[in-house]
Amino acid sequence: QDDPDLHPNVQSYKGYSKLFRRMLAKGEMAALLRRTPLFAVQDDHDYGRDGCWRDTIEPYTARAFADVVPGAVWPGPNYRTWSIGEVDFFLTDNRRFKDPPSGPYENGTYMSVLGATQRRWLLSALAASTAPVKIVFIPMTMAWYWSDGEANEVLDFIRSNVGGRVIFLSGDKHAGGFVH
């Protein structure tokens, strides 16, 4: 659906709203939504073209996602944190603030999937957390999609400034992974 040449009728607020409603109505998803709160974050296909970044996001797709999917936010920041018991959770958006693949890079050095503002938020929130376990959801796997520069900066900061155990969870179906 994210290819305008193959699916020109989908490329609108109405088209994406219809797709998101259809996704939420599917058997397993509908059952999950009836019993589970949802914190939604978009990935590339949800923002428009495959492989999109901050400059190629189609606002109508983001608005449709926020209007249809529970827990989605647009235009404000959609990254967030919450706690359950002694675990703090961090949800990141790896598309809305992502640099273009070949630059220019916001930080002048490496391609970022988080962007400076979200990265500062994440590192600050992790350092401030007193929970013994912290789980960070990253839609794009660190081993596959993140630049070495950003992955090293985040991991070095955690080693030096964050107590407890930090677990990264990624749900990218193309390169799903678990990094600890």
Average pLDDT, whole number, for the chain? 86
Reported as half-sphere exposure (CB side, CA atoms, 13 A), residue 164 has a value of 15
Q: What is the pLDDT of residue 39?
A: 77
pLDDT digits (tens, 9 = 90+) for 113-161: 999 999 999 999 999 999 999 999 998 778 778 899 999 999 999 999 9
Give CA–CA dist 156/161, Å, rounded.
8
pLDDT digits (tens, 9 = 90+) for 144-157: 788 999 999 999 99
